[in-house]
Chains A and B, each alone.
Chain A
Amino acid sequence: MRGDRRVVVTGLGSVTAAGAGRDALWADLLAPPSPGHRPVDGWDATPWMDRAAIRHTDRCTQLAVAAAELAVSDAGGAKTLTASGRPEHAGVVLGTALAGVTTMERQSLVREARGDKRVSPFVVPMIMPNAAAAAVSQRFNWQGPCETLTTACSSGTHAIAAAARLIAYGICDTVLTGGTEAAAYGTVLAGFRNMRALSGTGRTRPFDSGRDGFTVAEGAAALVLEAEDTAQARGARILAEVLGAASTADAYDVTMPLPDGSGAARCMDLALRDAALAPSDVAQINAHGTGTLQGDLAESRAVQRIFGGDGPPVTSAKGATGHVFGASGALEAVAVVLSMTHRLIPPVQGLTDPDPELAPGLDLVRGKPRPWTPGPVLSSSFGFGGHNGCLVLGPAGA
C-alpha cells in the first residue's frame, strides 16, 4: 500500500444473525443457512450499552458498538491500544449504506399518526449516517479522524481502505474500521423486492445457474488496524496485513454493473498495483457474489479480465451470511482473515451448479471447505451507484 507505514490487522469483531464474535461467523461460513432473510433476531444491546444509550441509538449503531468492542477486545483492549497516550492518533472509519433508515421509517409513522410533536428529539442524531462512528469514538475516547463512508454495498470495503490509508500516511497509529447495517425492515425490504433483487426462494446462491437474487441480513463487522511499527512495539498479535486497496466507478447505471465487468476489473488491477503484486500472486478471491443474475455475470467477467482462465480459488460469503449491504465488505474482510487463520477457504454456500454463462476459468470453491496455504487475498465489493472497491489482504508476517 502506498505510504510510509505497513498496516496490520490486530483485532476482529462481528455481530450477525449467527451470533457475536469471530467463532460464530466462522461456523456460519461453513454451513448452509436456513432459507429466508437473516435479521439479528432477539438482539440485546445491553451487554455493550446502557439502557439510556440504547433508547437513543438506531440498531445499526448498537451493532457497530458491539462489533467494535469485540474487535478492540480481540486486539488486547482499549487501554492497551491507547497506552501510548495518543488518543488523537486513534481514529474510526465505518461504512454503512442505509444507516438509520429504520428509525426514520418508524418515526415517520409516529408523525403520521400523532403529529409533529410526538417525533423523537433524538431522531436526527439517530438516523445520521455518521452516528455509529461517532458512538464508537466516544466509547473509546479516540480523538483522531472519525468518519463514515457510504458507497452502498461497497461501503465496508471502502471504509477499510480509507482507514488503512490513515495509518499508511502517518495520520493515525490505530483505526477501528468496518461496517454496519440494520435495514432488513419495512420499506427497504419492499423496495428491494419490487426491484426484483431479492431471492424468491429465500436463498442466496452466488454464481449458481439457479440463482434468483439475495437474502437480506443485518450485522456489523469491525477490524482493528494498526501501524506495523506501533503494533510490534506493544507486542501485538498480528493477524493479517492490508497490502493494497483501490476504488473505481462504473459511471454507467445506478443499479446495473457494467456488463463487461471492466469497471470492476480496473479496480482489481489498481488494488493489485497498490499492493505491488501480480495477479499470479493472488491465492484467493473473496468475491462480492450477491447471487443476482447480472451482478455475478459481470463479476465473473471482471475476474476473467484480470486472472485469465487460470485464476485462484473464488469464494463468496453471501451464500452463508446473506447480504449485509454496507457492512458486507467488512464482514468479508473478517472472513478473509479467518480463512487465513484456519487455513481453509469456506465454500460458496448455495452453489451446486455453476452458471455456464459465467466467464470461463472461475475456480469456485463448492461443496466443502478447501484446505489452503494462506497468501494474498483479493476481496471485492460493488455497490449501487457503480461503486467498486477492492482490498488486498495478506497473511501476517509474509
Chain B
Amino acid sequence: MSDAVFETVRSCAVEVLQVAPEEVTMEADFTDHLGATSLTLVELVMAIEEACSVDLPDDGVESVRTVRDACELVRARI
C-alpha cells in the first residue's frame, strides 16, 4: 500500500471536483459522495494520469467508482 498514490489521487480529486480533502476517503464514491459527473470523472482520470505519469486503460477507468478503485488502478500500472 502506497500512501503516496492515495495522496496524489486525493489532491487530484480536491482540485478537479472542488471538494474538501477530508471528504476524499478510500471508501468515497466519486459520483455518490464527491459529486463527480461522467465528464468530471474523465477529467479526474486525466489529472491522475498526469500526476502519476501513468497511462490508465479506458476499460479500467470505466469501472472506477471509488477512490480505492482509482488507487488500485494506478498501482497496477506503476
A interface vs B, CB < 8 Å?
50-52, 55-56, 117-118, 120-122
Q: Are B39 and A55 in contact (CB under 8 A)?
A: no
Distance from A356 Cβ to chain B, minimum over Cβ atoms (Å)? 58
Q: Are B43 and A122 in contact (CB under 8 A)?
A: yes
Q: Are B46 and A50 in contact (CB under 8 A)?
A: no
The residues of B that contact A121 with a CB separation of less than 8 Å are: 39, 42-43, 46
CB < 8 Å A-B pair total: 23
Q: Are A117 and B18 in contact (CB under 8 A)?
A: no
Contact of A52 among B17, B49, B50, B55 (CB under 8 A): B17
Contact of A51 among B18, B46, B50 (CB under 8 A): B18
Contact of A55 among B18, B35, B46, B55 (CB under 8 A): B18
The contact size tier of chain B is: 10 to 19
> B34-56 vs A: 1/0 string, CB under 8 Å?
01000110110010011000010
Query: 15 interchain pairs (CB within 8 A)?
Result: A52-B18, A52-B35, A55-B16, A55-B18, A56-B39, A56-B40, A117-B46, A117-B49, A118-B50, A120-B43, A120-B46, A121-B39, A121-B43, A122-B39, A122-B43
- Give complex CA distance A56, B37 in Å: 12
Determine the residue in chain B with the shortest Cβ distance to A120.
B43
The residues of A that contact B55 with a CB separation of less than 8 Å are: 117
Q: Are A118 and B18 in contact (CB under 8 A)?
A: no
Determine the residue in chain A with the shortest Cβ distance to B15.
A55
Determine the residue in chain B with the shortest Cβ distance to A114.
B50
Beyond known contacts A52-B35, A121-B42: 5 more, CB 8 A cutoff? A55-B18, A56-B39, A117-B49, A117-B55, A118-B50
Q: Are A118 and B46 in contact (CB under 8 A)?
A: yes
Interface-centre pick from B35, B42, B55 (highest chain A CB count, 10 A): B42
The residues of A that contact B46 with a CB separation of less than 8 Å are: 117-118, 120-121
Determine the residue in chain B with the shortest Cβ distance to A118.
B46
Distance from B64 Cβ to chain A, minimum over Cβ atoms (Å)? 15
- Give complex CA distance A122, B49 in Å: 17
